[in-house]
Structure 1
Amino acid sequence: MKKISRPYLYLGVTLLAAVFVLLLEKPTADKKGDVVDIPLLGNLDVQTIAMIEIEYLLNGVRLKKGDGGWMVSGFKTKIQENIEKADVKKETEAPEKWYKADSNKVDLILNILLDVQLSSLAGNNPEKHGFFEVNAVGMQIRLFDSVGKKIEHLYLGKTGAGFLESYVRKEGENEVYLANRYLRGTLSPTAEDWKEKPKK
């Protein structure tokens, strides 16, 4: 039987060790923090949610539960208000208009939110909130009960390494978590997207 020369043997062992390290460490992947695996909204009962606000840059939408289902209306975001304050030619503010919303779509989105899991802690440094886009530049969602009490206020940030994940932070907390879903692509801040479409 022919012997394998030592240089080839050493090379083979080195290559095997390198492959083993790559499989275990995955140095090219983003490093994730502590694994938490907890639901985004905890044990929240979806039936207690009576109003939803979604705000993203210049667009804002408000969804309100009524006796006949969900209604939708646009609203001015803080960024939009600040722009208008600087505009001396500001027009008289129009009253809020409500339209019939697609209740099935709203219920679907609420169920999706309830299914979202926070997989790991990404960080807790407030100075990094801008990097994760979980501050004023990120999408915000606020949930209210029937008496107008705020149940939850979330900042929905940019995508994670896997593109199907995204960063999330709760108002008043510094911790930023990686969620198992890209939420900005699920929630629209435009009223037109929530309106009930006429039946053909």
Structure 2
Amino acid sequence: MKLKKVLIFLITFVVLVGIYLIMENPFGSKKEEVKKEVLLFANFKPENQVKIEISYDKKNVLLKKKNDKWLLIKNEKDYPADEKAVKEVLDKVKNFNKKDIISKNPKKQKLFEVTKGKGVEVKIFDKNNKMTAHFFVGKAAPDFFSTYVRKEGSSEVVVAK
């Protein structure tokens, strides 16, 4: 009777070890793809930006930098903007990268809400009034700390953190 229990235990142990070896492949070669970090807006420098246009659902928000202060422009009046928040946004845009591409299929852009009608459209301009970033911010990613982003003119949807 004891021999039978030991034999069942050993067989179970061997099966579990076999499953582990098949699933984890600890002795096999690691062929993990190293994802190269390619920035979405390669030449974007936050300190050179002076205007941000945000459009969503027929509403527009305009932020402008005047005398080194960010201002919210509404009905031709200037209101102080949250400097820290604007800096944070510009730093995030600088670090958007193509490492986490979720989809390249244009048909899925509506699903991620990164289209003109669904997403938040953002345009950022530098001191020469040259557009340095133009992208759409979509819905939140499953982790709720990230969101989907698509660069205007591109079919690639990436996760931005």
**1:5-26 alpha-carbon deviations (Å, 9 max, x no partner):** 25x44444444455566668xx
Q: 1:135 to 1:104 in 2, by over 3 A?
A: same
- For residue 110 of structure 1, the aligned residue among 90, 113, 120 is 90
Q: State the identity %.
A: 30
What is the aligned-residue RMSD (CA, Å)?
Answer: 3.0
Q: Offset of 1:142 from its aligned partner?
A: 0.8
Question: Structure 2-normalised TM-score?
Answer: 0.73
After superposition, give the CA deviation of every residue in 1:40-81 in whole Å (9 maximum; x if it has no partner): 43231223211011223254311111125111124xxxxxxx
The verdict on how the C-alpha distance between 1:2 and 1:18 changes in structure 2, with shifts beyond 3 A counting, is same
Q: Deviations over 1:142-168 (max 9, x none)?
A: 111233321111111223333322221
Letter of the structure 2 residue corresponding to residue 65 of structure 1: K
Match of 1:141 in 2: 122
Q: Which residue of 2 aligns with 1:86?
A: none
Counterpart in the other structure of 2:28: none
| Number of equivalences | 151
Q: Which residue of 2 aligns with 1:96?
A: 76
- Separation of aligned partners in 1, 2:151 and 2:51: 18
Q: Distance in 1 between matches of 2:144 and 2:14?
A: 36
8 Å Cα contact 1:34-1:121 kept in structure 2: no
Q: Which runs of 5+ in 2 are unaligned?
A: 26-32
Question: Comparing both chains, which one has the higher relative contact order based on Cα–Cα distances under 8 Å and sequence gaps of 6 or more?
Answer: 1
Q: 2:60 aligns to what? A: 60
Higher fraction of strand: 2
Structure 1's unaligned 5+ residue stretches are 25-32, 75-94, 182-200
Q: 2:44, 2:133 within 8 Å by CA — same for their partners in 1?
A: no
Aligned counterpart for 2:156 among listed residues 175, 180, 183: 175
Contact residue 36 and residue 120 of structure 1 kept, 8 A: no
- 3-state SS of 1:131 partner: coil
- State yes or no: 1:164 paired with 2:145: yes
Cα distance change on mapping 1:166 and 1:104 into 2, 3 Å: closer
What TM-score does the superposition give when structure 1 sets the normalisation length? 0.61
Provide closer, same or farther for how the CA distance between residues 125 and 115 of structure 1 changes in structure 2, counting only shifts above 3 A. Answer: closer
Once residues 36 and 158 of structure 1 are traced to their aligned partners in structure 2, the CA distance between those partners, rounded to angstroms, is 25
Between the aligned partners of 2:62 and 2:52, the Cα distance in structure 1 is 6
